[in-house]
Amino acid sequence: MGMYRYLQKAWQSPEHVQIMKERLISWRKQPVIERIDSPTRLDRAHALGYKAKQGFVIARGRIGKGTRKREKPQGGRKPGKAGQTSIPPQQNLQHILEMRIARKFPNLEVLNSYYIAEDGKQIWYEVILVDPTHPCIKSDPHINWVCEPQNRGRVFRGLTSAGKAARGLHGTGKGFEKRVHGV
């Protein structure tokens, strides 16, 4: 097994649960979106395109779980019929958080994101950001596609993995089976 496989197994171990509980206590006191030095899940970040070089930035963010509330409508209604609660968001929570982080760092592009932890109220994700103007990124043939102008704002157009899932482009079942001609 390679190093990343061992990291993946360690992430699933029971000892790791206690470590994450202690981390969540400190993360709750931090800002909602925070830039961090290195990924918490190195194996997952590497699989999604992260490299430990200049031009790559990792931001950890949290988002509230559950449904949303709407503005209270004017006029008399029964509270249950007012349509204020139990309104699910249009996108998944991971995609919403990616867009929030992209607005926080307007000069960076979102490459991808991955799950970190959750408690009863919130979910934490880490987002991989790339600086398209950095010389190290421009000279790397594997990632310099981000520098092209047609890839600006890709998170807002649903081109990340979470964005594609929110648009219904990933999955199995009806509508996802392969089409074979002549059958």
Per residue in 63-110, pLDDT (tens digit) is 999 887 777 777 777 777 776 767 778 889 999 999 999 999 999 999
Predicted structure pTM score: 0.85
Rounded CA separation 161/77 (Å): 40
Residue 23 inside a domain? The answer is no
Residue 21 forms part of a structural domain: no
160 domain-assigned: yes
- pLDDT, one tens digit per residue, over 10-52 is 888 888 888 999 999 999 999 999 999 999 999 999 999 999 9
DSSP 22-79: HHHHHHHHS-SEEEESS-SSHHHHHHTT--SSTTEEEEEEEEE-S-B--PPPSS---G
> Residue 113: inside a domain, yes or no?
yes
Q: How far apart are CA 34 and CA 85, in angstroms?
A: 29
Total of domains in the chain: 1
Residue with tokens 């990792």: 58
Give a yes or no: residue 181 inside a domain. Answer: no
Whether residue 174 is contained in a domain is answered as no
Taking a C-beta distance cutoff of 8 angstroms, is the pair 39, 112 a contact? no
Q: What is the pLDDT of residue 90?
A: 81
Domain for residue 157, yes or no? yes
Domain contains 36: yes
**Which SS3 state, helix, strand or coil, does residue 111 take?**
strand
Task: State which residues form the domain around 117.
Answer: 28-71+93-166
166 vs 23: which has the higher pLDDT: 23
